[in-house]
């Protein structure tokens, strides 16, 4: 008689437990009873710490944007004033500029300061004197108010720091005199003479005057007042026989060109240093040193000016004693 194996409750329970564990977990049974291991710190940082940090950055950016919006520049309300012009003319430097335009106002402030007080000659230019071929004409030149300065000169086409300084100086002079810029050809044949005065700042000097002298060949003699009257008597207008240089100041020239070796295309003294004889000192230095070993005499018609302004005409008449001529630049 065959014996039958009975399945007890405990065996059936064991089967159910094994089947359940096999279906839910693929790991061995021994691993389920072992203590649970902690995940690596890198894994935790990638899964748990990542999203909150992103949210923190987003909140921080939102706060920064709100602060920037709160700090926006206050706007200025502008109104059109039709009955008044925005164009202004400075009474000190005679420069016309547009009021309210930042570029125009900045240009005016810089130009007005240079016109009144002059530019500075500093240590940078002083260190470049040998390289730039700067020659010192005279020292301790006494002015009418007792101050003393020195006179130097160098070529008009000099480079380096001195060339940059001369370019800025000539731009200011041309703007003040309403004159065109000097061409490179004229600068190659020219010498720039500067009058330097001690400044309040140590190691710096003020450019109290500038004269540009160039080599020319011919110029025209200035007609005297009597010659102008005779020209008016012989013809309805004096321009029939004479050339009008400045009708406002009554400067007329004879059309015949005469041999003249030296011309003065630019002469300028800042307003704060005028009436001290600076222009006369600079012109005399140019007449004595422009041609080496051959000093020139303005009374003999050896020096000429370009079309002078009212102040330039007064200097030309007083310094040259009526012998200075006029030439076309």
pLDDT tens-place string over residues 52-82: 555 555 556 666 666 666 667 777 776 666 6
pLDDT digits (tens, 9 = 90+) for 97-140: 787 788 877 877 887 777 777 788 988 899 999 999 999 999 99
Q: Is pLDDT of 208 > 90?
A: yes
CA dist 193 and 36 (Å) reads 95
Parse the chain into domains and list their residue ranges: 85-117, 118-212+266-293, 218-259+297-329
Q: Is pLDDT of 272 > 70?
A: yes
Mean pLDDT, residues 312-319:
86
Looking at residue 24, its pLDDT comes to: 43
Is residue 143 a contact partner of residue 151, using CB atoms and an 8 Å limit? no
Which residue's structure tokens are 């909140």? 59
CA 185 to centroid of chain Cα atoms: 24
Mean pLDDT of the chain: 79
Which residue's structure tokens are 């649970």? 36
More confident residue, 322 or 113: 322
Mean pLDDT, residues 19-32:
44
CA dist 107 and 98 (Å) reads 10
pLDDT digits (tens, 9 = 90+) for 275-290: 999 999 999 999 999 9
Looking at residue 97, its pLDDT comes to: 73
Looking at residue 135, its pLDDT comes to: 95
What is the dihedral angle through the alpha carbons of 244, 248, 250, 253, rounded to the nearest 10 degrees? -20
Give 13's pLDDT tier (boundaries 50, 70, 90).
Answer: very low
What burial letters (b/e) apply to 129-166, b meaning 16+ CB within 10 Å? eeebebeebeeebebeeeeebbbbbbbbebeebbbebb
Looking at residue 311, its pLDDT comes to: 76
Mean pLDDT, residues 218-234:
83
What is the dihedral angle through the alpha carbons of 28, 33, 38, 44, rounded to the nearest 10 degrees? 60
Q: Point out the least confidently predicted range of 91-100, 216-225, 264-273.
A: 91-100
Which residue's structure tokens are 């500075």? 120
Q: Is pLDDT of 205 > 60?
A: yes
CA dist 324 and 329 (Å) reads 15
Angstrom distances, CA of residue 114 to CA of 78, 161, 171, 271, 314: 32, 18, 11, 9, 23
Looking at residue 189, its pLDDT comes to: 93
Looking at residue 237, its pLDDT comes to: 67
The most confident of 31-40, 230-239, 307-316, by mean pLDDT: 307-316
């Amino acid at each position: 008689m065959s014996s039958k194996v009975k399945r007890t409750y405990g065996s059936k329970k064991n089967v159910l437990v094994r089947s359940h564990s096999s279906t839910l977990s693929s790991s061995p049974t021994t691993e389920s009873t072992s203590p649970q291991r902690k995940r690596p710190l890198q894994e935790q940082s990638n899964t748990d710490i990542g999203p909150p940090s992103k949210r923190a950055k987003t909140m921080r950016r939102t706060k920064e944007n709100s602060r920037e919006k709160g700090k926006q520049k206050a706007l200025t309300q502008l109104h059109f004033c039709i009955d008044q012009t925005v164009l202004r003319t400075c009474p000190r430097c005679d420069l016309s500029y547009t009021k309210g335009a930042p570029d125009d106002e900045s240009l005016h402030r810089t130009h007005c300061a240079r016109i009144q007080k002059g530019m500075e000659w500093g240590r940078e230019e002083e260190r470049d004197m040998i390289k730039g071929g700067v020659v010192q004409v005279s020292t301790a030149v006494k002015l009418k108010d007792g101050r003393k300065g020195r006179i130097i000169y160098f070529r008009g086409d000099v480079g380096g720091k001195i060339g940059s300084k001369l370019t800025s100086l000539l731009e200011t002079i041309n703007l003040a005199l309403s004159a065109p810029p000097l061409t490179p050809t004229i600068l190659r044949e020219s010498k720039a003479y500067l009058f330097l005065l001690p400044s309040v700042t140590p190691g710096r000097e003020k450019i109290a005057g500038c004269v540009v002298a160039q080599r020319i060949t011919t110029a025209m003699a200035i007609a005297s007042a009597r010659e102008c009257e005779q020209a008016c008597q012989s013809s309805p207008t004096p321009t029939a026989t004479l050339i009008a240089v400045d009708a406002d100041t009554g400067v007329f020239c004879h059309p015949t060109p005469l041999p003249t070796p030296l011309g003065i295309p630019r002469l300028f003294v800042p307003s704060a240093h005028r009436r001290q004889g600076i222009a006369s000192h600079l012109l005399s230095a140019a007449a004595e040193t422009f041609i080496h070993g051959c000093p020139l005499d303005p009374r003999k018609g050896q020096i000429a000016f370009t079309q002078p302004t009212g102040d330039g005409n007064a200097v030309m008449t007083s310094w040259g004693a009526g012998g200075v001529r006029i030439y076309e630049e």
